[in-house]
């Protein structure tokens, strides 16, 4: 194609694009069709089936198997604990949301169902350190549980593991917020 042919093709495709863009702009200028919400005064409606928000975590039900961290494709989950199994004391469980893809690959491998993706999606901050959530301190407890998870929580409560884990975490210098304590939530 010649120089003039390329020039004409460029003008023609640019006009086609402008025509399409202008029809969308005219259609969306109406007040009912806005491009943005006035957050935090207005919030998005959440589709509970497909939404993948911030993680929710139950520190006491975690058995420190590290399957969630192994399943994470970007290595954004950091786990440290004392012991393994039901009596494990979680000393560190952090998710770095500057790396997280919200792929939900960490949820299915968990045998105790202590990690799920919740409905929260806002994590404002000013530094990269604000993007790391320390779940072992009791942030973002699980809001909706399954039958299996409820049965496990009852089993842990009957064995007195919640109280002993809370005491041992305090001995290791890891605080527990009251909202994370299952006895306080029920």
Q: How far apart are CA 146 and CA 78, in angstroms?
A: 25
pLDDT of 67-96, one tens digit each? 999 999 999 999 988 888 888 888 888 999
Q: Report which listed range, 33-37, 77-81, 178-182, is most confident.
A: 77-81
Tell me what the mean pLDDT of segment 36-51 comes to.
76
For residue 179, pLDDT beyond 70: no
User: pTM score, two decimals?
Assistant: 0.63
pLDDT of 144-160, one tens digit each? 677 877 787 777 778 77
Q: How far apart are CA 17 and CA 11, in angstroms?
A: 10
Q: What residue ranges do the domains of the chain occupy?
A: 1-35, 55-185
pLDDT band (50, 70, 90) for residue 175 = low
pLDDT band (50, 70, 90) for residue 33 = low
pLDDT band (50, 70, 90) for residue 30 = low
Tell me what the mean pLDDT of segment 53-80 comes to.
90
For residue 184, pLDDT beyond 50: no
Tell me what the mean pLDDT of segment 133-137 comes to.
81
- Domain 55-185 carries which CATH code? 3.30.70
**Residues near 124 by Cβ (< 8 Å), separated by ≥ 6?**
130
């Amino acid at each position: 194609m010649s120089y003039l042919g390329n020039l004409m093709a460029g003008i023609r495709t640019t006009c086609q694009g402008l025509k399409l863009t202008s029809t969308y702009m005219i259609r969306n200028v109406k007040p009912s069709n806005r491009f943005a919400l006035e957050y935090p005064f207005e919030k998005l409606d959440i589709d509970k089936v497909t939404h993948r928000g911030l993680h929710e975590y139950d520190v006491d039900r975690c058995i420190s198997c590290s399957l969630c961290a192994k399943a994470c494709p970007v290595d954004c989950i950091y786990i440290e604990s004392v012991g393994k199994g039901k009596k494990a004391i979680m000393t560190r469980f952090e998710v770095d949301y500057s790396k997280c893809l919200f792929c939900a690959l960490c949820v299915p491998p968990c045998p105790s169902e202590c990690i799920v993706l919740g409905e929260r999606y806002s994590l404002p901050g000013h530094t990269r350190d604000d993007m790391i959530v320390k779940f072992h301190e009791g942030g973002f407890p699980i809001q909706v549980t399954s039958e299996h998870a409820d049965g496990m929580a009852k089993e842990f409560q009957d064995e007195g593991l919640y109280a002993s884990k809370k005491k041992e975490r305090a001995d290791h210098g890891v605080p527990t917020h009251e909202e994370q304590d299952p006895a306080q939530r029920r």
